[in-house]
Amino acid sequence: MGRVQGKAVFITGAARGQGRAQAVRLAAEGADIIAVDLCENIATNGYPLATEEDLAETVAKVEKLGRRIVARKADVRDPAALRAAVTEGVAELGRLDAVVAQAGICPLGPDRTAQAFLDAVTVDFNGVVHAVDAALPHLPDGASIVATGSLAGLTPATTDNPANGPGGLGYSLAKRQVAAFVHDLATVLAPRQIRVNAVHPTNVNTDMLNSDLMYRTFRPDLEHPSREDALPSFPATTGFGIPYVEPEDIAETVLFLVSDESRYVSGMQMRVDAAGYVKRRPQLPTF
């Protein structure tokens, strides 16, 4: 028996990166998956998002583990599209036990506009709300809701790095709202024993981190920093002195939160940050 044997889990942003790692890890422990991804680019986001080929690869990896997966191209900014994907997935899989709302963008860049700010908020916060809203009518008592924030969701906005631009501010605001949303929703859904938790990663070794605009954030002193230029600065965000964690490290925490092992764990802001938060000594409360 796997740790999530027979459960069905809805994951947004599942075509690559952390979402794919979660789909594969959960499937390895016996879960079926409803996977959605935009599979298109967003103009203000300065690095490419996942493709339909990426989503097909997630499907192949889950099926190779002997589990079922319903994959749909859908935008988390579009509530109707998410509702349709979940309804079709539940019709095929017969149930829904958990949602992992984790699709995200990070439209950094000093030359970005207010649209970058709004896109970050709309994808990274509204997208979480839409995913939860699409899942809720199907979730039984005792279900699990997980949302991905960021260490940026637990620390004050970085307003002194010009490389971040308006999109960086939007990202920070959205992630802080994810943290607050999880806190509040945990109280609302407590009478149904539905637990609601956030996972807050430090740097994760995915395409979001490995992008030219992110290198510029870490090395704002250089016009066009390379990964080699930025890499020595990555460990500054962790206490352990490591540059990043792997998507599989986040998937382990998500697995725990989806499994019944966490049946009495709710309202948590789960940091997978290699002691980055405690190192920063932030002024904000941790909820």
Ligand X SMILES: NC(=O)c1ccc[n+]([C@@H]2O[C@H](COP(=O)([O-])OP(=O)(O)OC[C@H]3O[C@@H](n4cnc5c(N)ncnc54)[C@H](O)[C@@H]3O)[C@@H](O)[C@H]2O)c1
Active site positions, annotated: 171
The residues near 64 (Cβ < 8 Å, ≥ 6 apart) are: none
At closest approach, how far in Å is the CB of 145 from ligand X?
A: 15
| Site for ligand X contains 150 (CB under 6 A) | yes
| Site for ligand X contains 203 (CB under 6 A) | yes
Pairing assessment for the beta strands 98-101 and 269-272 based on DSSP bridges: unpaired
In the β-sheet with 32-37, what is the strand arrangement from edge to edge? 69-73, 32-37, 8-12, 98-101, 144-148, 195-201, 269-272
Contact 224, 184 (CB under 8 A): no
| Site for ligand X contains 274 (CB under 6 A) | no
| Site for ligand X contains 238 (CB under 6 A) | no
At closest approach, how far in Å is the CB of 17 from ligand X?
A: 2
At closest approach, how far in Å is the CB of 43 from ligand X?
A: 12
Cα 15 to Cα 70, 154, 173, 200, 232, distances in angstroms: 12, 26, 25, 20, 29
| Site for ligand X contains 13 (CB under 6 A) | yes
Q: Which stretch binds ligand X (CB under 6 A): 121-129, 134-142, 190-198, 276-284?
A: 121-129
| Site for ligand X contains 95 (CB under 6 A) | no
Contact 259, 2 (CB under 8 A): no
| Site for ligand X contains 251 (CB under 6 A) | no
At closest approach, how far in Å is the CB of 15 from ligand X?
A: 4
- Taking the C-alpha atoms of residue 173 and residue 121, their distance in angstroms, rounded to an integer, is 7
| Site for ligand X contains 38 (CB under 6 A) | yes
Query: Which residues of this chain interact with ligand X, rule CB under 6 A?
Result: 12-13, 15-19, 37-38, 49-50, 75-77, 102-106, 123-124, 127, 148, 150, 201, 203-204, 206-209
